[in-house]
Amino acid sequence: MNIRVFQKGFNYSQDGTGNRLILHLQGCNMHCPWCSNPEGMPMDGVILTEKEWLNESCCPKGAVKDGELDRQVCDLCEEKSCIRNRRQKGIRLSCQEYSVEELVRECEAAKPMFFDGGGVTLTGGEISMQFEAVKELLRKLGDKGIHRAIECNGSHPRMEELIPYVDQWIMDVKHYDEEKHREWIGVSNQWTVRNLERVSELHGDVLIRVPLIPGFNDSREDAEGFAGLFKEKIRGEHTRVEFLIYHEYGKGKWEQCGWEYRMKPGRIAPGVQELFENTLKENGIACVRT
Ligand code: SF4
Ligand code: SF4
């Protein structure tokens, strides 16, 4: 079985405990307009361009003119010779494919780096888009004694099957209101809510993450809405919630993918994160900042 990965690297404590190897897996079923890794959305990957290195020699078909890539030419191009040569800085495909065994070997070789309770984190994109291969990878990493964390959007109907293979579970919940979720992200939040209930009941280490997005979920009413949802659905004592503040770090990547960044300029006002944390705490829900 193979897995498509669009980014790999080490990171300390943000996506799980200790120093970790973070594998970003290709493909996502949601379309969050604020996504900081938009290149991870399409299942087959996307051609990324880097302006300062993009020139006519990057494409034998003449699709690059005056420093711009004509993606309509790419849509009709079958050879895609530009991305077969992965050394080009000006043009590349977002992802690369590895066998599960290759990734296990790489993770094993990285073991000396997993200090302070570290290990491997699978994140995205959305990891469950490659469900069977992910399950296999997690199982094999467990066999090697490697600590496993996942970061997911909770929307896969079979999510629960991964519970035995995950040591630390991080799950994003973007909105408590189904209509608003669908309107902004393109899919319902129903499976995420169902999985929130099941995973918090059955797993001993769950971190729920809510990205606070201006105009989407950052009002006082929204704080109450999240508190109501979590009060009703979070079952276990080992579940904490973290509110993350919106940033525009991904904006440049949208341009590299040839897409428009549709978020309007805006920011989360000072005090909003505290308001959300305090509203949850008043409802008996534990909040953390990692
Ligand atoms: S996909 Fe084809 S047309 Fe587009 S840049 Fe690559 S080689 Fe050129
Ligand atoms: S769920 Fe995550 S990876 Fe998918 S589009 Fe939203 S922010 Fe991006």
Domain locations in the chain as residue ranges: 2-44+95-282, 47-93
Mean pLDDT of 143-150: 98
Which ligand neighbours the alpha carbon of 93 most closely?
1
| pLDDT mean across residues, the chain | 96
Q: Show the tokens assigned to 154.
A: 């909770």
**For residues 147 and 28, what is the distance between their CA atoms, to the nearest angstrom?**
24
pLDDT score for 49:
96
How many angstroms separate the alpha carbon of residue 196 from the centre of ligand 2?
Answer: 17
| Separate counts of helices (H) and strands (E) for the chain | 9, 12
CB of 210 closer than 6 angstroms to any ligand 2 atom: no
211 CA closest ligand 2 atom index: 7
33 pLDDT tier (thresholds 50, 70, 90): very high
Q: Can you give the pTM of this predicted structure? A: 0.95
How many angstroms separate the alpha carbon of residue 249 from the centre of ligand 2?
Answer: 14
Among candidate residues 180, 178, 244, 171, the one with its CA nearest the CA of residue 215: 180
pLDDT in tens, 79-93: 899 988 667 889 999
Q: Show the tokens assigned to 155.
A: 């929307």
Best of 57, 80, 84 for a ligand 1 pocket test (most atoms within 8 Å of beta carbon): 80
Task: Report which protein residue has its CA nearest ligand 1's atom 4.
Answer: 74
Mean pLDDT of 142-168: 98
Task: Report which protein residue has its CA nearest ligand 2's atom 6.
Answer: 32
Helix (H) or strand (E) holding 233: helix 220-233
Which ligand neighbours the alpha carbon of 184 most closely?
2
CATH of domain 2-44+95-282: 3.20.20.70
Among candidate residues 223, 246, 239, 249, the one with its CA nearest the CA of residue 170: 239
Residues with CB under 6 A from ligand 1: 59-61, 63, 73-74, 77, 80-82, 91
Task: Report which protein residue has its CA nearest ligand 1's atom 8.
Answer: 59
